[in-house]
Structure 1
Amino acid sequence: MRVLLALGGNAMTAPDGSAGPADQQRAIDGAMEHVAELIGHGHEVVLTHGNGPQVGNLLVKNELAAHVVPPVPLDWCGAQTQGTIGYMILGALEASLGRRGIDRRVAALVTRTVVDADDAGFTRPTKPIGRYLTREQACRLIDHGETWQDRGAKGWRRVVASPEPHEVLDTPALLTLLEAGYVVVTAGGGGIPVVRTSDGTVRGVEAVIDKDLTAALLARAVAADALVIATDVDHAMLDHGTPHARPIGQVTLGQMETYAAQGQFASGSMGPKVDAAMRFVRGGGSRSVITALDRITEAVEGHVGTVIESDTAPAIFER
């Protein structure tokens, strides 16, 4: 199977959220053991990943140095973190594959994602990023063109656009690498956000793209057999946080859409993952899976996880 695997932020940081260089390297080393296992089972893998903690680190550097050098824009932050995380994944995955005697080449591709310049998020940004600052600190960054909001007792926080992804611009290069036999790391953090200009060129914009939505878009573009969204739980849950909580196993797209319409999935956590998983199947994909990182091979082979299929698809397994 060709699998588009989307790794969440938990794969890039320590269990307590620490994101120092050593923490990140240990987390990525561990994550790549699971990816290598999936490849070892004969599956073709395209790998994408989050970059929230890494971009957060760069934003702090922006804030602390704003009185000395201008802050770098978010598209630059995305490009930098794609390069850094891609580099770390290359070494870790090559080592994991080598220990298993698997001869596969790995490549990391710096990737741009096209968004609509007229997306409402650019005029009414709502996506909070980074840490809380005092009014004085925030005003220094407002002077550099950033948008900050007063969040009361916690302080001020930056808000940016989170536009809908429309196209992964570098898909042709990705397909070339896949045809040459590479395992490809791509579209990290949802891709570097760019818009098309009137003359047909593209330019970067200040935005954050949801990486799971880009993963769904990319999975269709590369004709993936499955979209697997790796997180820190085995399943999505119904009635999460209540005494009646129960895992969701294999469901049809229609059933999952009903659960989503009932407000079962929180917008800040499981909601975007469920949305992306449904989009892939709704757009013609075979199936989507949401499960824990350490169970991705079992999930792809139909033994665990929340599995979403089209309403007419045959059952993979019984629960």
Structure 2
Amino acid sequence: MTKPTLVVALGGNALLRRGEPLEADVQRINIASAVKAIAALTADWNVVLVHGNGPQVGLLALQNSDYKQVKPYPLDILVAETQGMIGYMLQQELQNALPEISIVTMLTQVEVNSKDPAFLMPTKYIGPVYDKVEADVLSIEKGWEFKNDGDYIRRVVPSPKPLNIIESASIKQLISHGSLVICAGGGGIPVVRKDKKLLGVEAVIDKDLSAAFLAEQINADALLILTDADAVYINWGTDKQMALSNAQPEQLEKMEFDAGSMGPKINAACEFVNATKGKVGIGCLADGSQILKGLKGTLITEKPVAKKNNIKL
């Protein structure tokens, strides 16, 4: 029997946790743990993996800007670099864990609108964490913008919405041949069309929005968003804070979530469920195989599947 298709969106912070040094050895250790959870999913699903790159692309941008002898590489090229770097590490670990499955990493371009208002209002967190003094200095020296990310301060860049995944036909073909495809890493390499040609632009697309868009394009049955939070919470940071086990798009769309973290995940989940009637799980990596069963994390569906912790409006 053919397995259903699952798109898994793996957060960049699952590969490099907050406050950890931006080193290859640290990422390899985290990736080895992530692969155990992803490999377990292949027992029931055809898995397509999309990964984040926030810490990694931010580090490359920092290294890039400090090399004064040459003009800095733009963000689209840095995103391509992270697709190769992170994809390589994920592909190697997955191949070691799943020697019977073909693992393929694909450089993936994602088309965006050059007039997307996101270019005027940066919200996407990238790079390491800073204290206020460091952020103020970098803001003056490099012209970067910063925002609070929980207890931290991080750089933010434009994050336009995905319009088209250029390599979607090739991804479908690989899936049909039984490959586990790692694609749209870091949300995809951001490109625009000008005079019928593709050109890279200065942005980082949110990987959750790209994962949901990809899931629609390849007719996936479910979307799993793995992050460093164990569930979606309402009334976060108050004495009424509560984790949701199940929610519906029409409920979530009436609520506000941080535009740089949980907001895009909720938007991606709602778009996928509304478009496909499929289901979306959001939760932490360790709970991966249980989230879509409604046992852990938050399950977002067209209709309620459980009474516990449903949103009451």
Q: TM-score, normalised by structure 1?
A: 0.85
* Preserved contact between residue 146 and residue 156 of structure 2 (Cα < 8 Å): no
* Preserved contact between residue 280 and residue 292 of structure 2 (Cα < 8 Å): no
> What is the match of residue 151 of structure 2?
none
**Is 2:105 the counterpart of 1:108?**
yes
Amino acid at match of 1:254: E
> What is the match of residue 260 of structure 2?
268
* Pairs aligned (count): 294
> What is the match of residue 167 of structure 1?
164
Q: Cα–Cα, structure 1 residues 93 and 118, in superposed 2: closer, same or farther, change >3 Å?
A: same
Amino acid at match of 2:76: D
Q: Secondary structure at the match of 1:31?
A: helix
Q: Secondary structure at the match of 1:296?
A: helix
- Let me know the Cα RMSD of the aligned residues: 2.4
* Preserved contact between residue 226 and residue 285 of structure 1 (Cα < 8 Å): no
> What is the match of residue 31 of structure 2?
28
> What is the match of residue 232 of structure 2?
236
Q: Cα–Cα, structure 1 residues 63 and 277, in superposed 2: closer, same or farther, change >3 Å?
A: same
1:63 deviation in Å? 2.0
Aligned equivalent of 1:49, options 39, 45, 51:
51
Aligned equivalent of 1:216, options 196, 205, 212:
212
Q: Which runs of 5+ in 2 are unaligned?
A: 148-153, 309-313
- The structure with more radius of gyration: 1
**In structure 2, distance between residues paired with 1:111 and 1:158:** 24
**In structure 2, distance between residues paired with 1:149 and 1:304:** 36
1:138 deviation in Å? 6.5
* Preserved contact between residue 109 and residue 186 of structure 1 (Cα < 8 Å): yes
Q: Secondary structure at the match of 2:164?
A: strand
**Residues 76-134 of structure 1 deviation map (CA, whole Å, 9 limit, x = unaligned):** 00001000111000111111224xxxx21110010000001122233x24246556567
**Is 2:87 the counterpart of 1:95?**
no
Q: Cα–Cα, structure 1 residues 318 and 31, in superposed 2: closer, same or farther, change >3 Å?
A: same
Amino acid at match of 2:258: A
Q: Secondary structure at the match of 1:283?
A: helix
Q: Which runs of 5+ in 1 are unaligned?
A: 142-146, 152-156
1:139 deviation in Å? 7.2
> What is the match of residue 274 of structure 2?
282
> What is the match of residue 72 of structure 1?
73
Q: TM-score, normalised by structure 2?
A: 0.86
Amino acid at match of 1:205: V
**In structure 1, distance between residues paired with 2:161 and 2:9:** 17
**Is 2:266 the counterpart of 1:252?**
no
* Preserved contact between residue 125 and residue 159 of structure 1 (Cα < 8 Å): no
